[in-house]
Amino acid sequence: MTAPIVSFYRVIESGLPPARAGRSAGGTLPVRGVRYCEAVTSASAFGWHIFPPFGFSLMWDGETVAWATGDEWYRLDEAAQYPNGLDRFDSAAPSECKGFCPPWLLRGVTPGIVQVWTGIIVSTAPGWSLLIRAPANLGRSWGFETFEGIIETDRWTGPLFVNLRLIATDTPCSFPARYPFLQVQPVPRSVYGDEVLNSAEIASIAAMDENDWRGFHETIEPLLAREGVAVDVVANRLDPRPDGWRVLWADDAPCPECGDLCKRRALPIGRPLVYVGDGWSDQCAALVADRVFARRALAEYFDEHGLPYERFETFDDVAAALS
């Protein structure tokens, strides 16, 4: 087995362990978003969810912070430890590290800031850092903000913690045990270095070339015409208006199979049928094809269901397989 990219070591083992974040953001995304918006589902699924070891609440009165795990509130004077956290840490730690268990809650220097340790120690493979942030696309309390941070856990194995800024006063902010309160995302260090971040271009729309325009539905047809390709294009249209773009659905009746707007109804009647796809919205339609070429989300779906398909990266692969 190859070494993992991320290792989560649980010092405090109550509660839910870290888990791969799901594409539906814990079931909170609208069904249509899950089916059609690859951008939202990919971002939701990027990383791991971190849960608190037990449910707790924080409250700020504008000056001091109080915490509770039940009905009783305690003032956070300096720091609060996990119950039994010190014992568990010391029994595993080598002698030079004993006594250095991070506190569960640490009051920040700035009023209303609280540092929360997740009860987890984390390390990453060389070259990999972790971006710690609030869960992507998951609704949450407006009573606090989560600071985002990138930690270089390949250089130092350390506690996975986060800083919260309590905003609401005299209102409890609750962190339920079954609800992720953080999302941890793996990022190669090179991605946030100057070489990448200084490499951005800001230009006028006139600078967009053919390749830039190719992604827009309204330009598929001129491109096909230029290449001399005669095919029927079935696509939704965009209606650009000053107040935003509207999607005009090619077919706005629901599919009788899956009950949603779906590509299945647009399939040609002739057989055999070859289906080439890569997304969530290809699933229902691909199921009726005689031969399926899939990558990304569609390949994952076929893998999950043990269905036969052929993997492809580019249309050259498909053309080679079909010739």
- Binding residue for Zn ion, selected from 23, 35, 264, 295, defined by CB under 5 A: 264
Residue 43 interacting with Zn ion (CB under 5 A): no
CA distance 183 to 247: 31
Ranges assigned E (strand) in 61-134: 65-68, 74-75, 79-80, 105-107, 113-124, 128-133
Tell me how far, at minimum, the Cβ of 37 lies from Zn ion, in Å. 17
Tell me how far, at minimum, the Cβ of 150 lies from Zn ion, in Å. 41
For Zn ion, the closer of residues 262 and 294 by Cβ is 262
Which residues contact residue 25 at a Cβ distance below 8 angstroms, ignoring those fewer than 6 apart?
40, 44, 135, 136, 137, 138
**Exposure string over 64-90, b if 16+ CB within 10 A, otherwise e:** ebebeeeeeeeebeeebebeebbebbe
For Zn ion, the closer of residues 90 and 300 by Cβ is 300
Which residues contact residue 30 at a Cβ distance below 8 angstroms, ignoring those fewer than 6 apart?
none
Half-sphere exposure of 239 (CA within 13 A, CB side): 6
Contact (Cβ atoms closer than 8 angstroms) between residue 23 and residue 34? yes
Contact (Cβ atoms closer than 8 angstroms) between residue 277 and residue 291? no
Tell me how far, at minimum, the Cβ of 285 lies from Zn ion, in Å. 7
CA distance 39 to 23: 10
For residue 272, cis peptide bond before it (omega within 30 degrees of 0): yes
Q: How many residues bind Zn ion (CB under 5 A)?
A: 6
Q: Which of residues 60-79 bind Zn ion (CB under 5 A)?
A: none
Binding track, positions 219-258, relative to Zn ion; x by CB under 5 A: ------------------------------------x-xx
For Zn ion, the closer of residues 23 and 35 by Cβ is 35
For Zn ion, the closer of residues 263 and 295 by Cβ is 263
The interface region with Zn ion, picked from 158-166, 193-201, 279-287, 299-307 by CB under 5 A, is 279-287
Tell me how far, at minimum, the Cβ of 260 lies from Zn ion, in Å. 6
For Zn ion, the closer of residues 173 and 284 by Cβ is 284
Provide the token pair at 311.
Answer: 């993997």
For Zn ion, the closer of residues 276 and 284 by Cβ is 284
Residue 273 interacting with Zn ion (CB under 5 A): no
For Zn ion, the closer of residues 113 and 267 by Cβ is 267
Neighbours of 228 (CB within 10 A): 6
For Zn ion, the closer of residues 146 and 281 by Cβ is 281
Tell me how far, at minimum, the Cβ of 99 lies from Zn ion, in Å. 60
CA distance 212 to 196: 20
Residue 262 interacting with Zn ion (CB under 5 A): yes
- Binding residue for Zn ion, selected from 284, 289, 297, 299, defined by CB under 5 A: 284
Provide the token pair at 301.
Answer: 């779906």
Residues that bind Zn ion (CB under 5 A): 255, 257-258, 262, 264, 284
